[in-house]
């Protein structure tokens, strides 16, 4: 809604041909305002649903968020391979991950990042 008001202050008119909305008249501004309010409501409802889903997963003791690409076994394997002199590219291919994942996968000190 603030975008529509900002555009109106600059004498910019919005016309939606398909929906028949024209902000140059009071009716069009009202319809645009109602649609903006509905969009904001849907955004907030979606945020509430996602938050409730996260809380429910936490209550059930389930992981929240994206799963880790390297579990503890793969991280240990990456450390051993690196200690034996394997290049990061080879380690990444063996683990089915990217080099960036191998660099950050095991937390601090897994494998030193290359000098820039």
Dump the DSSP string for the chain.
Answer: -HHHHHHHHTT---EETTTTEETTSHHHHHHHHHHHHHHHHHHHHHHHHHHHHHHHHHHTT---SSPPSS-HHHHHHHHHHHHTT--HHHHHHHHTS-HHHHHHHTSTTSSPPPP-
What confidence score (pLDDT) does residue 109 get? 53
Per-residue pLDDT band for 116 (boundaries 50, 70, 90) equals very low
State what percent of residues in the chain have pLDDT above 70. 89
Whether residue 115 is predicted with pLDDT greater than 50 in this model: the reply is no
Q: Write out pLDDT tens, residues 89-106.
A: 999 999 999 988 888 865
Q: Write out pLDDT tens, residues 42-80.
A: 999 999 999 999 999 999 999 898 888 888 899 889 888
pTM to 2 decimal places: 0.56
């Amino acid at each position: 809604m603030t975008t529509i008001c900002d555009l109106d202050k600059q004498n910019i008119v919005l016309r939606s041909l398909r929906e028949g909305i024209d902000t140059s008249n009071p009716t069009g501004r009202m319809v645009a305002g109602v649609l903006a309010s509905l969009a904001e409501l849907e955004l907030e409802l979606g945020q509430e649903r996602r938050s409730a889903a996260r809380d429910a997963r936490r209550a059930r003791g389930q992981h929240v968020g994206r799963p880790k690409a390297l579990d503890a076994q793969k991280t240990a394997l990456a450390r051993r391979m690196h200690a034996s002199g394997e290049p990061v590219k080879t380690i990444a291919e063996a683990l089915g991950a990217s080099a960036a994942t191998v660099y950050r996968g095991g937390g601090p000190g897994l494998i030193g990042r290359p000098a820039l």
